[in-house]
Amino acid sequence: MSDDPISPMRNSALASFKGYLRSANRWLQSTPERALDQAYEAALAIKALEDAHFDGNPISLDSGDYSKSARTYLKEELKKYLDIIRIRLFEFKASSSIVRLSNQAITEVQLEENGNENLAINVIDRPNLILKKLRFIDEVLARYSNSEPSPGSVMIVTNLQPPAKALSQAEPPLVSQGNQLPKRSTKRDMKSLTDKTGVLPRSILETVDRVRRELDPESEQEVVQDFRKSKSRTVTALRFILLLIIIPLLMQQLTKNFIVGPVVDHFRANNEQVQVFLNHELEDEALDELQRFEQRIRFEIMIGREEPKAEEEIAELVRDRAAEIQQEYLDRGSDAIKNVFADLFGLFVFGVIIATGKREIAVLKSFMDQLVYGLSDSAKAFIIILFTDIFVGFHSPHGWEVILEGVSRHFGLPANRDFIFLFIATFPVILDTIFKYWIFRYLNRVSPSAVATYRNMNE
Protein backbone atom coordinates (compact mmCIF):
# COMPACT_ATOMS: atom_id res chain seq x y z
CA MET A 1 0.00 0.00 0.00
CA SER A 2 1.19 3.51 -0.78
CA ASP A 3 0.75 6.27 1.82
CA ASP A 4 -0.71 9.63 0.93
CA PRO A 5 2.17 12.22 1.37
CA ILE A 6 -0.31 15.09 1.74
CA SER A 7 -2.10 13.60 4.80
CA PRO A 8 0.76 14.15 7.33
CA MET A 9 1.17 17.74 6.16
CA ARG A 10 -2.55 18.36 6.64
CA ASN A 11 -2.43 16.84 10.13
CA SER A 12 0.59 18.99 11.05
CA ALA A 13 -1.05 22.17 9.77
CA LEU A 14 -4.27 21.29 11.60
CA ALA A 15 -2.36 20.65 14.85
CA SER A 16 -0.53 23.97 14.51
CA PHE A 17 -3.80 25.79 13.85
CA LYS A 18 -5.40 24.20 16.91
CA GLY A 19 -2.37 25.19 18.99
CA TYR A 20 -2.72 28.79 17.86
CA LEU A 21 -6.41 28.70 18.72
CA ARG A 22 -5.69 27.36 22.22
CA SER A 23 -3.02 30.03 22.77
CA ALA A 24 -5.37 32.76 21.62
CA ASN A 25 -8.11 31.39 23.85
CA ARG A 26 -5.83 31.33 26.89
CA TRP A 27 -4.71 34.89 26.15
CA LEU A 28 -8.32 36.05 25.83
CA GLN A 29 -9.32 34.27 29.05
CA SER A 30 -6.48 35.98 30.96
CA THR A 31 -7.07 39.45 29.46
CA PRO A 32 -9.60 40.68 32.09
CA GLU A 33 -7.39 39.70 34.99
CA ARG A 34 -4.28 41.10 33.33
CA ALA A 35 -5.98 44.43 32.61
CA LEU A 36 -7.33 44.65 36.16
CA ASP A 37 -3.89 43.94 37.64
CA GLN A 38 -2.35 46.73 35.58
CA ALA A 39 -5.06 49.18 36.66
CA TYR A 40 -4.61 48.11 40.29
CA GLU A 41 -0.83 48.63 40.10
CA ALA A 42 -1.37 52.14 38.69
CA ALA A 43 -3.78 52.93 41.56
CA LEU A 44 -1.19 51.70 44.06
CA ALA A 45 1.39 53.98 42.43
CA ILE A 46 -0.93 56.99 42.87
CA LYS A 47 -1.55 56.00 46.50
CA ALA A 48 2.22 55.78 47.04
CA LEU A 49 2.66 59.34 45.69
CA GLU A 50 -0.10 60.59 47.99
CA ASP A 51 1.44 58.92 51.06
CA ALA A 52 4.98 60.04 50.25
CA HIS A 53 4.34 63.70 49.42
CA PHE A 54 0.81 64.69 50.52
CA ASP A 55 0.26 62.76 53.80
CA GLY A 56 -2.37 60.55 52.19
CA ASN A 57 -4.33 63.46 50.73
CA PRO A 58 -5.13 63.78 47.01
CA ILE A 59 -2.32 65.17 44.90
CA SER A 60 -2.78 68.92 44.69
CA LEU A 61 -0.59 71.95 44.04
CA ASP A 62 -1.93 73.80 47.08
CA SER A 63 -0.80 71.09 49.50
CA GLY A 64 2.75 72.48 49.50
CA ASP A 65 5.16 74.71 47.64
CA TYR A 66 7.03 72.68 45.06
CA SER A 67 9.54 73.66 42.45
CA LYS A 68 8.54 73.84 38.81
CA SER A 69 10.35 70.63 37.91
CA ALA A 70 8.73 68.79 40.83
CA ARG A 71 5.25 69.98 39.77
CA THR A 72 5.87 68.89 36.21
CA TYR A 73 7.04 65.50 37.39
CA LEU A 74 4.02 64.98 39.64
CA LYS A 75 1.62 66.13 36.89
CA GLU A 76 3.08 63.73 34.36
CA GLU A 77 3.13 60.81 36.80
CA LEU A 78 -0.46 61.36 37.91
CA LYS A 79 -1.73 61.78 34.35
CA LYS A 80 0.11 58.66 33.23
CA TYR A 81 -1.31 56.49 36.02
CA LEU A 82 -4.85 57.84 35.59
CA ASP A 83 -4.72 57.13 31.85
CA ILE A 84 -3.51 53.59 32.55
CA ILE A 85 -6.34 53.02 35.02
CA ARG A 86 -9.06 54.27 32.66
CA ILE A 87 -7.76 52.36 29.64
CA ARG A 88 -7.27 49.12 31.56
CA LEU A 89 -10.68 49.37 33.22
CA PHE A 90 -12.29 49.80 29.80
CA GLU A 91 -10.32 46.79 28.56
CA PHE A 92 -11.39 44.83 31.64
CA LYS A 93 -15.07 45.64 31.06
CA ALA A 94 -14.98 44.79 27.37
CA SER A 95 -13.04 41.54 27.75
CA SER A 96 -15.00 40.36 30.81
CA SER A 97 -18.27 40.81 28.94
CA ILE A 98 -16.89 38.55 26.20
CA VAL A 99 -15.59 35.76 28.39
CA ARG A 100 -18.45 36.21 30.93
CA LEU A 101 -16.03 36.55 33.80
CA SER A 102 -18.58 38.01 36.18
CA ASN A 103 -20.84 34.93 35.92
CA GLN A 104 -18.11 32.40 36.68
CA ALA A 105 -17.27 31.13 40.12
CA ILE A 106 -13.92 29.86 38.88
CA THR A 107 -11.87 32.42 37.00
CA GLU A 108 -8.97 30.27 35.92
CA VAL A 109 -8.75 26.61 35.08
CA GLN A 110 -5.41 25.42 33.81
CA LEU A 111 -5.15 22.03 32.17
CA GLU A 112 -1.71 20.55 31.80
CA GLU A 113 -1.41 17.43 29.69
CA ASN A 114 1.15 14.90 30.81
CA GLY A 115 2.75 12.11 28.86
CA ASN A 116 0.33 9.54 30.29
CA GLU A 117 -2.68 11.65 29.24
CA ASN A 118 -3.41 12.56 32.86
CA LEU A 119 -4.84 16.02 33.53
CA ALA A 120 -3.63 18.21 36.43
CA ILE A 121 -6.26 20.79 37.36
CA ASN A 122 -5.37 23.96 39.26
CA VAL A 123 -8.46 25.84 40.44
CA ILE A 124 -8.14 29.41 41.80
CA ASP A 125 -11.14 31.19 43.24
CA ARG A 126 -10.74 35.00 42.81
CA PRO A 127 -14.09 36.88 42.78
CA ASN A 128 -13.45 38.49 46.18
CA LEU A 129 -9.94 39.51 45.18
CA ILE A 130 -11.27 41.14 41.99
CA LEU A 131 -13.93 42.96 44.01
CA LYS A 132 -11.39 44.41 46.46
CA LYS A 133 -9.15 45.59 43.64
CA LEU A 134 -12.07 47.31 41.92
CA ARG A 135 -13.13 49.02 45.12
CA PHE A 136 -9.62 50.32 45.74
CA ILE A 137 -9.35 51.58 42.14
CA ASP A 138 -12.73 53.34 42.41
CA GLU A 139 -11.63 55.06 45.64
CA VAL A 140 -8.53 56.41 43.91
CA LEU A 141 -10.43 57.56 40.81
CA ALA A 142 -13.15 59.22 42.89
CA ARG A 143 -10.64 61.71 44.27
CA TYR A 144 -9.65 62.91 40.79
CA SER A 145 -13.02 62.98 39.00
CA ASN A 146 -15.47 65.85 39.51
CA SER A 147 -18.08 64.57 37.09
CA GLU A 148 -19.03 61.06 36.09
CA PRO A 149 -16.95 58.03 37.03
CA SER A 150 -14.48 56.52 34.66
CA PRO A 151 -15.70 53.98 32.13
CA GLY A 152 -16.60 50.65 33.57
CA SER A 153 -15.62 51.28 37.19
CA VAL A 154 -18.88 51.54 39.12
CA MET A 155 -20.80 49.28 36.77
CA ILE A 156 -18.25 46.52 37.21
CA VAL A 157 -18.43 46.72 40.98
CA THR A 158 -22.20 46.43 40.81
CA ASN A 159 -22.10 43.43 38.51
CA LEU A 160 -19.53 41.63 40.64
CA GLN A 161 -21.23 42.24 43.99
CA PRO A 162 -21.12 38.88 45.82
CA PRO A 163 -23.73 37.72 48.33
CA ALA A 164 -23.41 38.69 51.98
CA LYS A 165 -22.21 35.23 52.95
CA ALA A 166 -19.40 35.37 50.45
CA LEU A 167 -18.35 38.78 51.74
CA SER A 168 -18.25 37.48 55.30
CA GLN A 169 -15.85 34.73 54.23
CA ALA A 170 -13.74 37.01 52.08
CA GLU A 171 -10.02 37.41 52.45
CA PRO A 172 -8.52 40.29 54.45
CA PRO A 173 -8.57 43.59 52.57
CA LEU A 174 -5.64 44.40 50.32
CA VAL A 175 -5.00 47.63 52.23
CA SER A 176 -4.45 47.41 55.98
CA GLN A 177 -6.57 49.37 58.42
CA GLY A 178 -3.77 51.78 59.13
CA ASN A 179 -3.46 52.64 55.43
CA GLN A 180 -7.11 52.83 54.49
CA LEU A 181 -8.03 55.79 52.36
CA PRO A 182 -10.12 58.35 54.24
CA LYS A 183 -13.42 59.32 52.72
CA ARG A 184 -13.15 62.88 51.51
CA SER A 185 -15.40 65.04 49.45
CA THR A 186 -14.39 65.50 45.83
CA LYS A 187 -15.48 69.16 45.91
CA ARG A 188 -12.31 71.05 46.65
CA ASP A 189 -11.26 74.62 46.17
CA MET A 190 -7.74 73.65 45.23
CA LYS A 191 -7.03 72.60 41.66
CA SER A 192 -5.75 69.16 40.91
CA LEU A 193 -2.56 68.58 39.05
CA THR A 194 -4.53 67.13 36.16
CA ASP A 195 -6.67 70.22 35.63
CA LYS A 196 -4.21 71.71 33.13
CA THR A 197 -3.43 69.18 30.47
CA GLY A 198 -3.61 69.54 26.75
CA VAL A 199 -1.77 69.63 23.48
CA LEU A 200 -0.25 73.10 23.94
CA PRO A 201 2.73 73.64 26.25
CA ARG A 202 1.77 74.14 29.89
CA SER A 203 3.55 77.48 30.11
CA ILE A 204 1.24 78.90 27.43
CA LEU A 205 -1.81 77.48 29.17
CA GLU A 206 -0.65 78.89 32.50
CA THR A 207 -0.13 82.33 30.93
CA VAL A 208 -3.61 82.26 29.38
CA ASP A 209 -5.10 81.12 32.67
CA ARG A 210 -3.33 83.92 34.56
CA VAL A 211 -4.64 86.52 32.09
CA ARG A 212 -8.13 85.05 32.44
CA ARG A 213 -7.93 85.31 36.23
CA GLU A 214 -6.72 88.89 36.03
CA LEU A 215 -9.63 89.83 33.75
CA ASP A 216 -12.12 88.05 35.96
CA PRO A 217 -14.19 90.64 37.91
CA GLU A 218 -14.15 88.34 40.95
CA SER A 219 -10.38 87.87 40.92
CA GLU A 220 -9.79 90.73 43.38
CA GLN A 221 -12.19 89.18 45.85
CA GLU A 222 -10.46 85.82 45.49
CA VAL A 223 -7.06 87.42 46.12
CA VAL A 224 -8.42 89.12 49.25
CA GLN A 225 -9.88 85.84 50.49
CA ASP A 226 -6.60 84.03 49.87
CA PHE A 227 -4.72 86.75 51.75
CA ARG A 228 -7.11 86.48 54.68
CA LYS A 229 -6.71 82.72 54.78
CA SER A 230 -2.94 83.06 54.67
CA LYS A 231 -3.01 85.69 57.41
CA SER A 232 -5.25 83.54 59.59
CA ARG A 233 -2.96 80.54 59.05
CA THR A 234 0.12 82.59 59.96
CA VAL A 235 -1.47 84.02 63.12
CA THR A 236 -2.66 80.58 64.22
CA ALA A 237 0.75 78.99 63.62
CA LEU A 238 2.69 81.73 65.46
CA ARG A 239 0.24 81.70 68.37
CA PHE A 240 0.56 77.93 68.66
CA ILE A 241 4.38 78.15 68.63
CA LEU A 242 4.27 80.73 71.42
CA LEU A 243 1.90 78.53 73.40
CA LEU A 244 4.24 75.56 73.00
CA ILE A 245 7.12 77.62 74.37
CA ILE A 246 5.57 79.94 76.95
CA ILE A 247 2.99 77.73 78.69
CA PRO A 248 5.36 74.81 79.55
CA LEU A 249 8.06 77.25 80.76
CA LEU A 250 5.52 79.20 82.80
CA MET A 251 4.14 75.98 84.29
CA GLN A 252 7.67 74.83 85.13
CA GLN A 253 8.49 78.05 86.97
CA LEU A 254 5.16 78.20 88.82
CA THR A 255 5.39 74.62 90.05
CA LYS A 256 9.05 75.06 90.99
CA ASN A 257 8.52 78.24 93.02
CA PHE A 258 5.05 77.72 94.51
CA ILE A 259 4.34 73.97 94.64
CA VAL A 260 7.45 71.80 94.53
CA GLY A 261 9.85 74.38 95.96
CA PRO A 262 8.21 74.92 99.38
CA VAL A 263 7.75 71.16 99.85
CA VAL A 264 11.38 70.35 99.06
CA ASP A 265 12.71 73.22 101.20
CA HIS A 266 10.57 72.19 104.17
CA PHE A 267 11.65 68.56 103.91
CA ARG A 268 15.39 69.29 103.59
CA ALA A 269 15.36 72.01 106.27
CA ASN A 270 13.70 69.81 108.91
CA ASN A 271 15.68 66.69 108.13
CA GLU A 272 19.00 66.51 109.93
CA GLN A 273 20.16 63.47 107.95
CA VAL A 274 19.79 65.16 104.59
CA GLN A 275 22.82 64.87 102.34
CA VAL A 276 24.64 68.08 101.56
CA PHE A 277 26.05 66.77 98.28
CA LEU A 278 23.93 64.85 95.79
CA ASN A 279 26.98 63.21 94.19
CA HIS A 280 30.74 62.91 94.65
CA GLU A 281 31.42 65.43 91.89
CA LEU A 282 29.76 68.22 93.87
CA GLU A 283 31.66 67.17 96.99
CA ASP A 284 34.97 67.37 95.14
CA GLU A 285 34.06 70.83 93.83
CA ALA A 286 33.26 72.02 97.38
CA LEU A 287 36.53 70.65 98.81
CA ASP A 288 38.55 72.26 96.03
CA GLU A 289 36.84 75.58 96.64
CA LEU A 290 37.50 75.43 100.39
CA GLN A 291 41.12 74.47 99.85
CA ARG A 292 41.65 77.33 97.43
CA PHE A 293 40.10 79.73 99.94
CA GLU A 294 42.55 78.69 102.67
CA GLN A 295 45.51 78.82 100.30
CA ARG A 296 44.48 82.27 99.11
CA ILE A 297 44.44 83.58 102.73
CA ARG A 298 47.90 82.22 103.43
CA PHE A 299 49.24 83.54 100.12
CA GLU A 300 47.94 87.08 100.76
CA ILE A 301 49.49 87.02 104.25
CA MET A 302 52.85 85.92 102.84
CA ILE A 303 52.98 88.66 100.17
CA GLY A 304 51.98 91.31 102.68
CA ARG A 305 48.51 92.14 101.36
CA GLU A 306 46.93 90.92 104.59
CA GLU A 307 48.03 91.33 108.19
CA PRO A 308 49.57 88.28 109.84
CA LYS A 309 46.98 86.08 111.54
CA ALA A 310 47.23 83.31 114.04
CA GLU A 311 46.29 79.78 113.11
CA GLU A 312 43.13 80.06 115.20
CA GLU A 313 42.00 83.08 113.18
CA ILE A 314 42.74 81.32 109.90
CA ALA A 315 40.83 78.24 111.07
CA GLU A 316 37.87 80.44 112.06
CA LEU A 317 37.79 82.03 108.60
CA VAL A 318 37.97 78.63 106.95
CA ARG A 319 35.18 77.35 109.23
CA ASP A 320 32.93 80.24 108.26
CA ARG A 321 33.65 79.70 104.60
CA ALA A 322 32.89 75.96 104.98
CA ALA A 323 29.48 76.82 106.45
CA GLU A 324 28.75 79.10 103.49
CA ILE A 325 29.81 76.42 101.03
CA GLN A 326 27.62 73.88 102.83
CA GLN A 327 24.57 76.11 102.55
CA GLU A 328 25.37 76.87 98.90
CA TYR A 329 25.53 73.22 97.95
CA LEU A 330 22.41 72.45 99.96
CA ASP A 331 20.61 75.02 97.86
CA ARG A 332 22.08 73.54 94.68
CA GLY A 333 20.86 70.08 95.65
CA SER A 334 17.40 71.38 96.50
CA ASP A 335 17.29 73.27 93.19
CA ALA A 336 18.19 70.10 91.27
CA ILE A 337 15.38 68.15 92.96
CA LYS A 338 12.95 70.96 92.20
CA ASN A 339 14.02 70.93 88.56
CA VAL A 340 13.19 67.23 88.21
CA PHE A 341 9.58 67.56 89.38
CA ALA A 342 8.99 70.97 87.79
CA ASP A 343 10.26 69.73 84.41
CA LEU A 344 7.91 66.76 84.64
CA PHE A 345 4.99 69.14 85.13
CA GLY A 346 6.15 71.26 82.20
CA LEU A 347 6.54 68.17 80.00
CA PHE A 348 3.04 67.02 80.95
CA VAL A 349 1.56 70.39 79.97
CA PHE A 350 3.49 70.28 76.68
CA GLY A 351 2.02 66.84 75.94
CA VAL A 352 -1.49 68.07 76.75
CA ILE A 353 -1.11 70.98 74.34
CA ILE A 354 0.12 68.64 71.59
CA ALA A 355 -2.71 66.16 72.21
CA THR A 356 -5.44 68.80 72.18
CA GLY A 357 -4.07 70.90 69.31
CA LYS A 358 -4.32 68.58 66.32
CA ARG A 359 -5.91 71.27 64.15
CA GLU A 360 -3.25 73.79 65.16
CA ILE A 361 -0.53 71.23 64.41
CA ALA A 362 -1.92 70.77 60.89
CA VAL A 363 -1.98 74.55 60.39
CA LEU A 364 1.56 74.82 61.76
CA LYS A 365 2.77 72.10 59.40
CA SER A 366 1.20 73.89 56.43
CA PHE A 367 2.77 77.17 57.56
CA MET A 368 6.21 75.59 57.93
CA ASP A 369 5.93 73.93 54.51
CA GLN A 370 5.01 77.24 52.93
CA LEU A 371 7.81 79.02 54.79
CA VAL A 372 10.50 76.48 53.95
CA TYR A 373 9.54 75.84 50.34
CA GLY A 374 9.16 79.54 49.74
CA LEU A 375 12.90 79.98 50.23
CA SER A 376 15.26 80.02 47.31
CA ASP A 377 17.41 77.01 46.50
CA SER A 378 20.54 78.68 47.84
CA ALA A 379 18.75 79.58 51.10
CA LYS A 380 17.57 75.99 51.52
CA ALA A 381 21.08 74.67 50.94
CA PHE A 382 22.51 77.25 53.38
CA ILE A 383 20.09 76.23 56.14
CA ILE A 384 20.78 72.52 55.60
CA ILE A 385 24.55 73.04 55.72
CA LEU A 386 24.22 75.24 58.82
CA PHE A 387 22.20 72.67 60.76
CA THR A 388 24.31 69.70 59.68
CA ASP A 389 27.56 71.44 60.59
CA ILE A 390 26.24 72.48 63.99
CA PHE A 391 24.81 69.11 65.02
CA VAL A 392 26.86 66.56 63.05
CA GLY A 393 29.85 68.55 61.82
CA PHE A 394 33.50 68.39 62.76
CA HIS A 395 33.16 70.74 65.76
CA SER A 396 29.80 69.37 66.96
CA PRO A 397 31.28 67.04 69.69
CA HIS A 398 32.29 70.06 71.79
CA GLY A 399 28.75 71.44 71.61
CA TRP A 400 27.20 68.10 72.55
CA GLU A 401 29.61 67.81 75.48
CA VAL A 402 28.60 71.23 76.83
CA ILE A 403 24.89 70.40 76.41
CA LEU A 404 25.16 67.05 78.21
CA GLU A 405 27.16 68.53 81.09
CA GLY A 406 24.61 71.33 81.44
CA VAL A 407 21.75 68.82 81.56
CA SER A 408 23.60 66.81 84.20
CA ARG A 409 24.08 69.88 86.41
CA HIS A 410 20.44 70.86 85.89
CA PHE A 411 19.24 67.58 87.41
CA GLY A 412 22.05 67.25 89.95
CA LEU A 413 23.60 64.22 88.27
CA PRO A 414 27.30 63.50 87.94
CA ALA A 415 28.72 64.10 84.47
CA ASN A 416 29.62 60.58 83.38
CA ARG A 417 32.46 61.02 80.92
CA ASP A 418 32.10 57.51 79.49
CA PHE A 419 28.43 58.09 78.69
CA ILE A 420 29.17 61.50 77.17
CA PHE A 421 31.89 60.12 74.90
CA LEU A 422 29.71 57.17 73.87
CA PHE A 423 26.82 59.52 73.08
CA ILE A 424 29.08 61.77 71.01
CA ALA A 425 30.45 58.76 69.12
CA THR A 426 27.01 57.40 68.14
CA PHE A 427 24.25 60.01 68.12
CA PRO A 428 25.76 62.52 65.64
CA VAL A 429 26.46 59.63 63.27
CA ILE A 430 22.83 58.48 63.47
CA LEU A 431 21.63 62.06 63.00
CA ASP A 432 23.89 62.51 59.97
CA THR A 433 22.47 59.32 58.43
CA ILE A 434 18.92 60.60 58.96
CA PHE A 435 19.83 63.91 57.29
CA LYS A 436 21.30 62.16 54.27
CA TYR A 437 18.35 59.78 53.97
CA TRP A 438 15.91 62.71 54.16
CA ILE A 439 17.81 64.55 51.42
CA PHE A 440 17.89 61.45 49.23
CA ARG A 441 14.37 60.25 49.88
CA TYR A 442 12.31 63.44 50.17
CA LEU A 443 14.14 66.62 49.22
CA ASN A 444 15.59 65.06 46.06
CA ARG A 445 12.05 64.54 44.77
CA VAL A 446 10.47 67.75 45.96
CA SER A 447 13.26 70.18 45.07
CA PRO A 448 16.03 68.63 42.95
CA SER A 449 17.54 72.04 42.24
CA ALA A 450 17.98 72.68 45.99
CA VAL A 451 19.82 69.36 46.31
CA ALA A 452 22.11 70.29 43.42
CA THR A 453 22.81 73.68 45.02
CA TYR A 454 23.49 71.98 48.36
CA ARG A 455 26.01 69.62 46.79
CA ASN A 456 27.78 72.45 44.98
CA MET A 457 27.97 74.54 48.18
CA ASN A 458 29.10 71.58 50.23
CA GLU A 459 31.93 70.83 47.83
Do 240 and 339 reside in the same domain of the chain?
Answer: yes
Answer whether residue 185 is part of any domain: no
Which burial class, exposed, middle or buried, applies to 384 when counting CB atoms under 10 A from its CB (0-12, 13-18, 19+)?
buried
The yes-or-no verdict on residue 219 having pLDDT over 80 is: no
Q: What is the Cα–Cα distance from 322 to 289, expressed in whole angstroms?
A: 9
Do 248 and 383 reside in the same domain of the chain?
Answer: no
Query: Are the CB atoms for 377 and 450 separated by under 8 Å?
Result: yes
Answer whether residue 191 is part of any domain: no
Answer whether residue 195 is part of any domain: no
Do 357 and 379 reside in the same domain of the chain?
Answer: no
pLDDT at 118: 42
Do 270 and 227 reside in the same domain of the chain?
Answer: yes
The boundaries of the domain holding residue 306 are 200-364
Which of 364, 395, 425 marks a domain boundary? Answer: 364
The mean pLDDT of the chain is: 76
pLDDT at 147: 38
Answer whether residue 186 is part of any domain: no
What is the phi/psi pair of residue 175, to 5°?
-110, 130
Do 129 and 23 reside in the same domain of the chain?
Answer: yes
Q: What is the largest CA-CA distance in the chain?
A: 150
pLDDT at 8: 58
pLDDT tens readout for residues 409-441: 888 888 888 899 999 999 999 998 998 898 888
Which of 306, 339, 364 marks a domain boundary? Answer: 364
Q: Domain total for the chain?
A: 3
Do 356 and 403 reside in the same domain of the chain?
Answer: no
Average pLDDT on 216-227 reads 78
pLDDT tens readout for residues 94-148: 777 676 544 443 444 343 444 444 434 344 456 778 888 888 888 888 888 753 4
Answer whether residue 225 is part of any domain: yes
pLDDT at 430: 92
